[in-house]
């Protein structure tokens, strides 16, 4: 399949934008102007101004003499770039590869896309008509090369769709400016009487290079397809993305479910063939009102299980507002990983976290209560309690050491010990009473002390003497005294809660 490109020319980009903002300017001649060499010069003019003889590059004073009622606005230097960026993002619904062509165009790589709209003619008509409907004066052309499509969209007087391999015939009658050449080079060609591309197209390349330099030959070769011309897409294509254009806008939850199922089947088949699974994925819906709605999911382990992933997206369907309808769905797996061999073996069950059913359950819970509400902790080789555990988002990560079981440890450890008030205890004994968050606890049983020395190679400070205590209500706490006993001056803290 040969490459096909679609170039769009916004003939009055910034003035059309201004008219959309102020509809009362529809039939009023106006221009944008900027200061150049000490005088105001026109940089853009709308159609009513052009029909009365106003041209880009004309001094504002001369234009005012021709059209006294001409309205003049200050040029907005970055507005053209911003508009093309937004219009390019809008065109993503028609092809994933869209590039900005400053100062007034877009380039679309439509290879393999047009058939989804019934062919190139319907594809071109669909995009051009929609852009005109929202107020932009546009022209477009489709060809095998960017250069030919660009030339025909701006200078062509024939049909806008150039058949594959017909670049030479399409370029032959066009002026040299259609090759995107610099003004100095165009002046040189005109002085030599070369008013059409066909007048020098067949001249040997070595002669063109010697007489006009390498730029002319390069542009001609690009337009004819002898030299490859690359584009810089607004969004580089994702390695794992599927697209689903809709013949009719989707407005119902059932239609969204079918779209998700279809996209997941295509994406998961690719992932499975490559031995991969997704960890995060985003569904985007491009609505007819030019807005984008999206929903994202995450998994605790790499997965290409269609039904499991569909259940995760199913929880998000209620948040997808189709409005007047969604005309394109895309599904992208932003993060992927290798799938473990155990998972590839037809999802055979295993113990604990190795059981895919456990991972799927955690994913569904995360979809309902939030991923931040579910945490997994692994042990670390540290004596100091705060450093003895670490949080990990992955179910695949294996602990580097074993959990410590020779001493009692609370099931909930505070991230930072909190101070408590105690009665004056006997040295090396726990307090009889302590107050925490305004509540008084009378200690019934206690074990300890367990002295934990500070890791001096990491930081300095006092050691801790820990006690496991139980109050009269049967609730158990992990308390410690910082440093040696010093009567009323001793500092006591609560650090955890037992089951």
Q: Which residues contact 485 (CB under 8 A, 6 or more apart)?
A: 425, 427, 428
pLDDT in tens, 291-311: 899 999 988 888 899 988 999
Per-residue pLDDT, 351: 52
Equal fold, 1-237 vs 241-368: no
Q: Is residue 246 scored above 60 in pLDDT?
A: yes
Q: What is the CATH number of domain 1-237?
A: 3.30.70.270
Percent of the chain with pLDDT over 70: 91
Calculate the alpha carbon distances from 125 to 91, 128, 155 in Å.
14, 5, 19
pLDDT band at 387 (very low <50, low <70, confident <90, very high): confident
Give me the sheet containing 138-143, strands edge to edge: 97-101, 105-109, 5-10, 138-143
SS (H, E, C) 24-51: HHCCCCEEEEEEECCEEEEEEECHHHHH
In this predicted model, which residue has the larger pLDDT, 451 or 381? 451
Q: How far apart are CA 58 and CA 35, in angstroms?
A: 12
Q: Is residue 356 scored above 70 in pLDDT?
A: no
pTM higher than 0.75: no
Query: What is the pLDDT averaged over residues 353-365?
Result: 66
Query: Which has the closest alpha carbon to 396: 338, 333, 312, 313?
Result: 338
Q: How far apart are CA 29 and CA 296, in angstroms?
A: 48
Residue 41 C-beta-side C-alpha neighbours within 13 Å: 9
Per-residue pLDDT, 39: 92
| Strand-strand pairing, 71-74 and 30-36 | parallel
Residue 222 C-beta-side C-alpha neighbours within 13 Å: 20
Domain boundaries in the chain? 1-237, 241-368, 412-497
pLDDT band at 22 (very low <50, low <70, confident <90, very high): very high
Average pLDDT over the chain, rounded to an integer: 88
Q: What is the CATH number of domain 241-368?
A: 3.30.1490.100
């Amino acid at each position: 399949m040969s490459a096909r490109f679609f170039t769009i020319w916004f003939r009055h980009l910034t003035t059309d934008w201004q008219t959309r903002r102020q509809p009362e300017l529809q039939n009023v001649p106006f221009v944008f102007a900027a200061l150049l060499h000490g005088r105001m010069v026109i940089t853009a003019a709308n159609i009513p101004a052009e029909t009365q003889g106003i041209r880009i590059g004309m001094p504002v004073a001369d234009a005012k003499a021709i059209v006294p009622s001409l309205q003049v606005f200050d040029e907005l230097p970055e507005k053209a770039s911003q508009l093309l960026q937004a219009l390019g993002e809008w065109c993503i619904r028609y092809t994933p590869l869209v590039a900005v062509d400053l100062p007034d165009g877009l380039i679309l790589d439509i290879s393999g896309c047009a058939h989804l709209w019934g062919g190139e003619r319907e594809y071109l008509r669909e995009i051009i008509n929609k852009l005109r409907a929202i107020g932009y004066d546009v022209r477009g052309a489709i060809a095998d090369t960017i250069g030919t499509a660009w030339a025909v969209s701006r200078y062509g007087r024939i049909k806008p769709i150039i058949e594959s391999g017909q670049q030479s015939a399409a370029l032959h009658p066009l002026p040299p400016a259609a090759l995107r050449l610099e003004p100095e080079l165009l002046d040189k060609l005109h002085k030599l009487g070369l008013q059409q591309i066909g007048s020098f197209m067949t001249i040997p390349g070595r002669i063109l290079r010697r007489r006009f330099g390498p730029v002319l030959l390069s542009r001609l070769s690009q337009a004819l397809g002898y030299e490859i011309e690359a584009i810089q897409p607004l969004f580089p294509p994702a390695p794992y993305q599927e697209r689903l254009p809709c013949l009719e806008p989707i407005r119902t939850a059932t239609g969204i479910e079918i779209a998700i199922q279809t996209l997941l089947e295509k994406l998961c088949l690719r992932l499975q063939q490559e031995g991969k699974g997704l960890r995060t994925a985003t569904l985007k819906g491009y609505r007819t009102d030019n807005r984008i709605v999206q929903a994202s999911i995450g998994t605790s382990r790499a997965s290409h299980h269609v039904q499991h992933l569909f259940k995760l997206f199913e929880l998000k369907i209620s948040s997808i507002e189709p409005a007047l309808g969604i005309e394109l769905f895309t599904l992208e797996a932003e993060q992927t990983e290798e799938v473990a061999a155990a998972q590839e073996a037809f999802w055979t069950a295993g113990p604990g976290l190795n059981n895919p059913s456990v991972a799927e359950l955690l994913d569904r819970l995360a979809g309902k209560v939030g991923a931040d509400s579910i945490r997994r902790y692994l042990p670390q080789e540290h004596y100091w309690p705060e450093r003895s555990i670490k949080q990990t988002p992955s179910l695949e990560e294996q602990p580097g050491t074993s959990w410590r079981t020779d001493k009692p440890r609370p099931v909930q450890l505070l991230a930072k010990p909190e101070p408590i008030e105690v009665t004056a205890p006997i040295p090396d004994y726990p307090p009889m009473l302590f107050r925490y968050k305004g509540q008084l606890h009378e200690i019934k049983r206690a074990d300890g002390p367990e002295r934990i020395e500070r890791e001096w190679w990491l930081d300095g400070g006092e050691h801790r003497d820990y006690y496991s205590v139980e109050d009269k209500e049967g609730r158990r706490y992990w308390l410690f005294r910082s440093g040696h006993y010093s009567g009323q001056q001793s500092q006591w803290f609560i650090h955890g809660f037992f089951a």
